[in-house]
A and B are shown apart, each in its own frame.
Chain A
């Protein structure tokens, strides 16, 4: 049997997902033994034209991480879709926009102003902005267009499987790779390498009753090591987050869940569900006090949609 042909690509992402692939450690040698890697910009020197020259569906599986932010991201998403039999949205950015997706709270212009003019470390008195094309003596240089909104991979092209996580944990990456190598794949559109419950279902912390008089940010309080973090007033996204990560943050790292595994099955908007949970644990029957406690949450969008804004119901809706 000929070797499985795979490709890996990064679009708008931090590069953490690339590291996550290597987190499977020595098993990467099994992958290398079973597969030919045809395209992997972070590690191997292939050019876009090498991919363009391939026949359609030449690649058996492509792990695509990163959101769609620029015309280059979009081009590669479409190209790799065309050239791959299986396209996997790998990691939170490709799945639901992740941190790059939070830029959807701001307009393209205000982002460019911030980066090229307003930051204290920027010295740009001439107000230079990146141009799509510029002529220099050596010829014409081009840059990809910077889009107004961040989109997910599935909002751009047809996606076969979804591997969530920021980044996906090593065991789950291996589960997904193994499924591809052995051909034991679930129905198209499935989430691979994650559970089908919530993080709370797998959490070891002790739970009693959730009633809160005050919300704390993680640095404002030294949390009890055993007790549910939400019961201590620390915002934990566990109730609205898919299981499968092994609750590494909450149980090993002693930090609250931030929701990177996305919504559990059946939930269309993770932020709305977390909002519902947070709004209803406030321990008061006095309208003024309820409003006061809830208003202590300074950045609801950042907490509720830290990973899922681009894929949320109103994540593309900004009208201002």
Chain B
């Protein structure tokens, strides 16, 4: 399904204290990285309800990146540990639902790691590009058409 012209759409949920500031630093430091992540600023990676991830994937995102403070650094002391608990379970669920492992990712990026942010985005964009679009809606549509044909014939 992958094509040379395919540009993946990745929704990013960035913690306001570490990762969003880290992404800002990447910008002010003029670090070049692919423009595939649409950043959404949240107060804490712990605010990212798993519904957000599923909704993004169900409405056209090819991948989702959650970024928060390193373990031990959470502004609210333990938000990122809750994120890790949910994310671990979410990954198992997505695997069962048939969503490829590389499409959803949790990364720790601190406010001083502008270069790391750029590296994470570059790496993820590359991996999702290789996977191609998450075209589950059109795939499901295709199956429906095949079924209709089978029912008639």
Q: Which positions in A face B, CB cutoff 8 Å?
A: 71, 105, 132, 145, 147-149, 267-269, 271-273, 275-276, 278-282, 284-285, 287, 290-291, 293-295, 297, 299-301, 304, 312-320
B4 contacts A by Cβ under 8 Å: no
Give complex CA distance A297, B140 in Å: 29
Give complex CA distance A319, B58 in Å: 13
* Contact A290/B50 with A132-B150, A275-B93 known, Cβ cut-off 8 Å: no
B51 contacts A by Cβ under 8 Å: yes
Give complex CA distance A132, B81 in Å: 53
- The listed residue (B53, B92, B94, B147) touching A295 by CB distance below 8 A is B92
- Quick check: A291 and B151 within 8 Å, CB to CB? no
- Quick check: B55 and A313 within 8 Å, CB to CB? yes
- Quick check: B92 and A319 within 8 Å, CB to CB? no
Q: Which positions in B face A, CB cutoff 8 Å?
A: 46, 49-51, 53-55, 57-58, 71, 78, 81-82, 84-90, 92-94, 96-100, 134, 136, 139-140, 143-144, 146-147, 150-151, 153
- The listed residue (B51, B87, B94) touching A268 by CB distance below 8 A is B51
Give complex CA distance A44, B98 in Å: 42
Q: Is the interface of B mostly helix, strand, loop or mixed?
A: helix
Q: How far is the CB of B82 from chain A (nearest CB, A)?
A: 4
- Quick check: A316 and B136 within 8 Å, CB to CB? yes
- The listed residue (A285, A319, A320) touching B78 by CB distance below 8 A is A285
26 contacts between A and B (CB under 8 A): A105-B97, A105-B98, A148-B144, A269-B51, A269-B54, A273-B50, A276-B49, A276-B51, A278-B89, A279-B50, A279-B89, A280-B82, A287-B71, A287-B81, A290-B88, A294-B88, A299-B96, A301-B93, A304-B93, A313-B55, A313-B58, A314-B57, A315-B97, A316-B140, A317-B99, A318-B97
Residue in B closest to A105 when the chains form the complex, CB atoms: B96
- Quick check: A290 and B85 within 8 Å, CB to CB? yes
- Quick check: B88 and A279 within 8 Å, CB to CB? yes
- Quick check: B96 and A275 within 8 Å, CB to CB? no
- Quick check: B51 and A297 within 8 Å, CB to CB? no
Residue in A closest to B147 when the chains form the complex, CB atoms: A147
Q: How far is the CB of B108 from chain A (nearest CB, A)?
A: 10
- Other 17 A-B pairs with CB < 8 A, given A148-B146, A275-B89: A148-B143, A267-B51, A272-B49, A273-B49, A275-B50, A276-B86, A279-B89, A285-B71, A287-B81, A295-B92, A304-B93, A313-B57, A314-B57, A314-B94, A314-B99, A317-B58, A319-B134
Residues of A within 8 A of B140 (CB): 149, 316-317
- Quick check: B136 and A290 within 8 Å, CB to CB? no
* Contact A319/B136 with A145-B147, A149-B143, A301-B97 known, Cβ cut-off 8 Å: yes
Q: How far is the CB of A52 from chain B (nearest CB, A)?
A: 18
Residues of A within 8 A of B81 (CB): 284-285, 287, 290
- Quick check: B85 and A271 within 8 Å, CB to CB? no
Residues of B within 8 A of A268 (CB): 51, 55
- Quick check: A279 and B86 within 8 Å, CB to CB? yes
- Quick check: B88 and A291 within 8 Å, CB to CB? yes
- Quick check: B86 and A319 within 8 Å, CB to CB? no
Residues of A within 8 A of B143 (CB): 148-149
- Quick check: B98 and A318 within 8 Å, CB to CB? yes
Residues of B within 8 A of A281 (CB): 85
Residues of A within 8 A of B49 (CB): 272-273, 276
Give complex CA distance A287, B136 in Å: 32
Residues of A within 8 A of B99 (CB): 314, 317, 319
Give complex CA distance A28, B23 in Å: 65
Residues of A within 8 A of B92 (CB): 294-295, 297, 300
- Quick check: B98 and A319 within 8 Å, CB to CB? yes
Residues of B within 8 A of A300 (CB): 89, 92-93, 96
Give complex CA distance A273, B49 in Å: 8
Residue in A closest to B46 when the chains form the complex, CB atoms: A280
Give complex CA distance A282, B58 in Å: 28
- Quick check: B58 and A275 within 8 Å, CB to CB? no
- Quick check: B150 and A279 within 8 Å, CB to CB? no
Residue in B closest to A300 when the chains form the complex, CB atoms: B93
